[in-house]
Structure 1
Amino acid sequence: MKATKALLGRATALAGAVALAAVGLAGVAAPAQAAVAGTLTLNPTSGTVTDNPMLTGATTSAACPTGFGDQAALRVGPVGAQVANLNRIASDTGYDTAPFTLTANRSMATALAGTPADGDYVVVVECLSELNGVHPDRFETVIAVSGGNWQVKGAVDPAVPTTTTLAASPTGPVESGTPVTLTATLAPAEATGSVEFRRGGTALGTAPVSGGTAALTVSTLPVGSNSLTAQFTPADPAAYEPSTSAPLGVQVTAPGAVTGEQRIRAEIAGGGLLLEMAGTDVALTGGTVGGTATGTLNTAKVSDLRGTGAGWNLTGQVEDFVGPSAATIDGDQLGWTPDASKVSGSGAAIAGAVAAPGSGLGETRTLCRADEGSSAGVFECGAGLTLGIPDTTTPGSYAATLTLTLV
């Protein structure tokens, strides 16, 4: 009899679950005594109420409560009120084993059967069991709707980058005392704030931005070459980023001066990619059968004066060590710990990976390198060397040639 009741109860519960899964756009009331099981990470974090779909992903911060992993529902509605489906109920099962992501297949306006009024709404994921229905605890994140747009409540959009361009009229040369109008143009033009005009480190004045531009007229530029810039300060730093124009040169002459111009040109030839060695021989010491011998690689100097920033790579490979009676030690037994430093220039050298005896320089290994765009200058590369000596090695003097290749 108990078994019959149990089966009957299960059949009733399953029928209820099927009916629940068939709910389309109908609203679902918040479960009684509902609590928050966790939060949702929404993608995107903002949009319009008519975007379809509203969400490409809603990821839970944890798994559903144990035993409530048969189905999961993604829904939206006013805070504290009825919520409506943003998609059909998901039935992949296993939602109680790990965090998961659900997607929407309709807009917020479609789910709520009309354009939602301004205010706070909640996006929820509810966990379902075929036997026990909807769990009272759910995952939720609050969003704010305003003017047909929605955004995760409390989320802050990143500040918009700006660019500032400076122009002068007249462009120069101008006689001392002549009014020169400096005009800064902002992009995007919607940016608001102020622009400070500067001559080197000296402030010339500040003007407000209106319609994407700010202007200042000055007649106090000193005789000579003046390097001018415009620095934009946004009215709302959270909305727009500050920016500074490229320097603009304005030549000012003394009153009554007669000027002449000469154009200076220079032909600059590129240098080469050069490799220099501080020495040609390295002595390893402390070697014993079954032990190691150690030493220091002579410094290799790399000069990249090509002016191309193409990058370079300095590699090394050693042949097998040959000893008495043609006895050998495999080249892979020579390992190294590279180091690299900059002597001069704008680039940066990067040391290669450590190679241990046994998996060492029998194969080509990088001693140091410089990546494309940061290879110009003069650099020094070196390494500590360690030769692993197998316990079957014949005692005596061994030698091998290490070849460094710069490309």
Structure 2
Amino acid sequence: MRVGLDYRPATGFPNSGIGRQDIALEQALRANTQVQLQLFSVAPQQHPIRRIAHCPDWATPLDGIHRLPERLRFEALFLPQALRDAQIQVYIANMNMGLPIGRKPPGMRYILQLHDLFQLTMNNHHGSRLKAKIYGLSDRLSIGHSVRLADRIWTPSQFTADETVRLFPHARSKVRVMPHVVEGFTDQARAPATPLPERYWLCVGTREPRKNIPFFVEAWQIARRQFGKTPDLLLVGGNDCLNSAQRNAPGLHALTGINDSELHHVYRQAERLWQPSCGEGFGLPVIEALSVGTPVAVASGSSLDEVTPPDSPRFSPTDLGALVRLMGVLSTAGPEDPGPAQAWASNFGVEAFQRHFNEMFDELFEEAR
């Protein structure tokens, strides 16, 4: 079976959550003996991806892959004919959208990897109100188009599957749950250039409003005043989401631009990862922390309920007082055995992902016969 894969996320932002899942899909497809894989992407001129992927003649900057004009140009003017020329039988789009615009050729099947639907259900970070309106409308149209056109929709959690059916009831029969892969860290841990505090709690991923970081920092500041052993707080991803008073709070640290080996070190040295998000489609940092034996505490109400060990502390993402009290309890908690955390994380490793992927593809093969 000739399979085409949307390789734009892996080209433009390979270290992001979606970029890593794109690469994981590529590896799973190459490992399947029934698949002949073709990649489709955009890139600047002379970029090495052009040697291994089908790309349009025009140049696209790596930081422009998500821009609406570039998306429409690729999906409407290039992709439909490119898929026909390559005789693709199954095409996988994995940017929450991105299926070709136009009539689907007879016999071709489309798969949409839908990581989450927060573009439709929550406020997202945009530079201005005008951009927020434009992208909000385009996201609704693009996601709706891809959901309608897809023969299968793969979601990383039951939470996202349920949200998909809630927003698009007609898609119920297409939706399947395939958890993301978290490979763990292969590079040796290395301390970042910025010195780390002796004791710290950790939050990873801080940009979008749904990450709920200002609320969490407010609770942490109160806990610092009430409980003398509350550790420092390290934010990986920056502190732009905070107001000036919070950014300058004693004991608060921010890190940006670190590589995988440095992130590995940051996870290992943390006393605990906190994930206070109001909504998560999967929760990659939770599994990354668990994979190195670092305990976690998570907000309830989204996919974090699924990817977190049952005995891990949970809290409401809106109840400030309860979160402060939990911080007081955990500020004096002793070290935990890393074994159970790492065993849980292995449920989301490469072998588990390959097994789930093959089950999804076997279903397609059976239907094609």
Q: TM-score, normalised by structure 2?
A: 0.20
Higher relative contact order (CA 8 A, sep 6+): 2
- Structure with bigger gyration radius: 1
Which is richer in helix? 2
The TM-score normalised by the length of structure 1 is 0.19
Structure that is richer in strand per residue? 1
